[in-house]
A and B are shown apart, each in its own frame.
Chain A
Amino acid sequence: MLLTCLSVGSAWAGERILALSPHACEMLYAIGAGDEVVGVSEYCDFPDAVKNRPVIANYSRLYHEAALRLKPTLLIASNASLKGLETARQHGALIVVTHPENLQDIFDDLHRLGEQTGHASQATLLVGQLQTRLAEIKAKTDTRHRVFFEVWSDPLMTEAGNSFITQVLDAAGGDNVFSGNNVETMRVNIEAVIRAKPAVIIIPNRSGNIESRKAFWKQWLPTAYVIAINPDLISRPSPRIVEGIAQLQQQLDQIP
């Protein structure tokens, strides 16, 4: 038993991982591969430990010189066409792309990353816990509400179609009023929101102007409830999504 652990440990000890998107960072830490992460991208901010890691990419490019200096063996990217990725590949690093488009993809990618980094058993355990929690939330959800999700206030933007957010809202008991539009992130005319008559408006709680956004929506949709939520919890395809769905479900549940 000890022997197998040791041999597994030594086989993977050399892995040096660059996490090139916030959700990849969160996934790696959640399955216990955090210690092997040697570099992160600019917007990786969870868990706190990633803030000490050198930043070697932003959303559009890998800073390939700084990245190669870290001698990476494995790069986890959310976008295969990230500039500079090809250079790392030529230098012998393995590239794994994770771009979850629904909850099942998150679970699949957790398994995949687990196998890739030698943390398969932790990944399996985590996915099991997440799925149990999700089932509990689903069992609690009995009322459904028509919701509008505000991604950005100026210009007014939303997530439509069968986007990730639409599915997250659905799991929490919300029906996205723009799920019928075949676009993902879109600018939306305020007229269309008024006409769609959402019962609930979800705004991001980071904007610092929650009160003015609430007043804004009260003016146009006096009967709608406005709730604020941490957007990182529900728009980032990371394991924390289940926590986000739980919070959202709880808030939606309090609405008559």
Chain B
Amino acid sequence: MNQSVKWTMVLVMLIVAALLCLGLGEQWINPFAANGQDAVILWELRWPRLFIAFTVGGLLALAGAWFQVLLGNPLAEPYVLGVAGSASVGAVTALMIYPESALLMSVGAFVGAWIGISIVMAFAHLGSGRMLLAGVVLAAFWSALLALLLALLPRSELGLAFAWMMGDLSHSDLPIPLLLLTWGLALVCGFFLSRSLDALLLGERHAEALGIEVKRLRNRLLLLASAVTAIAVTAAGTIGFVGLVIPHLMRLLFGSLHRAVLPASAIGGGILLMLADSVARTIVAPSELPVGVLTAMIGVPVFLFLLLRRS
């Protein structure tokens, strides 16, 4: 299969996912012929939700792809490194200080994500193996701290805390234009970094031989991946598996060159989250499921199937 056929496939998937995301819900709405109440629901509820799902999914997948190169480890993703955990701790802390404010909770998540990342970054100079280990240990630490906070949290706040911890796309406290802008900027940055990333994937020495300042590249990449994660987590809570599964999926499809893997991940992550969210709000309508449950349930079998076929 040549590259253009593969890209066409991705774009077709994107359109199908977008149509499902707009059409599915508590009741089917034809995205091309909605009027009256359906039009209000389509334009004011489903379109915003589609953009949140698409950008958050794309950002998480990009961050995952970057973390994987950065640590030279296929297991790396924001969640494994404890960044999602520290963001959750920040969010729940905010809830304890000032209950019932989703906005303050997002600010807490952002601050938490930065603290988590800064601690992981302090291990950067010790090499990727130790940094990954530090991340895994920190993830355990954050989850213990989270359990402590949840035990102390008033019962009335538990609903919001749990909804947030499994991902919630029903609305975002960050404006959608900001999310789209972040997505676009992340994609552009990724494009400029793609050749350096390819070199880094072959090993630090190889990259240095090509004239790349590895240390600086690493720091930049870490900062970029962290900022993107913090924004995604702030917008939609913690959603796992997108950052792990999508970059690998796109490498299986497009090979390892980042010029293709990064844009494909930015779109593929969006597709997965749009599909997951469509299912999450359809199968138990008029209620809805946390989207994080669905990303795992869709992502993991697809990933395992592709791994088996590949070998």
Tell me which residues across on chain B come within 8 A of A208, comparing CB atoms: 100
Say yes or no: B45 contacts A155, CB within 8 Å.
no
What separation, in Å, do the CA atoms of A187 and B288 have in the docked complex? 6
What separation, in Å, do the CA atoms of A13 and B102 have in the docked complex? Answer: 50
* Cβ contacts under 8 Å, A69 to chain B: none
Are A191 and B100 interface neighbours, CB within 8 A? Answer: no
Chain B residues proximal to chain A, CB less than 8 Å: 25-27, 37, 40-41, 45-46, 100, 102, 155, 159-160, 163, 168, 170, 281, 285-288
CB neighbours (8 Å) of B281 from chain A are 189
Q: How far is the CA of A207 from the CA of B170 in the complex (A)?
A: 20
- Expressed in whole angstroms, the Cα–Cα distance for A192 and B41 within the complex equals 10
**From A186, A190, A193, residue with most partner B Cβ within 10 Å:** A190
Q: Pick the contact of B159 from A152, A178, A195 — CB < 8 Å?
A: A152
B168: A residues at CB distance < 8 A: 155
A215 at the interface (CB under 8 A from B): no
Question: How many residues of A sit at the interface, in one of the four size bands?
Answer: 20 to 34
- Once A192-B286, A195-B26 are accepted as A-B contacts, the answer to whether A207 and B100 lie under 8 Å apart by CB is yes
* Interface membership of A29, Cβ < 8 A: no
Residue of B nearest to A157 (CB): B159
A194 touches B (CB below 8 Å): yes
Residues of B within 8 A of A142 (CB): none
* Chain B residues, CB < 8 A from A192: 26, 285-286
Given contacts A155-B159, A156-B170, A207-B100, A189 and B40 within 8 Å (CB-CB): no
Min CB distance, B13 to chain A, in Å? 25
List residues of A whose CB falls within 8 A of some B CB.
Answer: 43, 58-59, 152, 154-157, 178, 181, 183, 186-196, 207-209
Contact status B287-A183, CB under 8 Å: yes
A178 with B102: in contact, given A155-B168, A155-B170, A191-B41 (CB under 8 Å)?
no
Select one of A154, A155, A181 contacting B286, CB under 8 A: A181
Residues of A near B286 (CB, < 8 A) are 178, 181, 188-189, 191-193, 196
Contact A188 B287 (CB under 8 A): yes
Question: Which B residues lie within 8 Å of A155 (CB)?
Answer: 159-160, 163, 168, 170
* Minimum C-beta distance from A232 to chain B (A): 11
A69 → chain B, closest Cβ, in Å?
A: 22
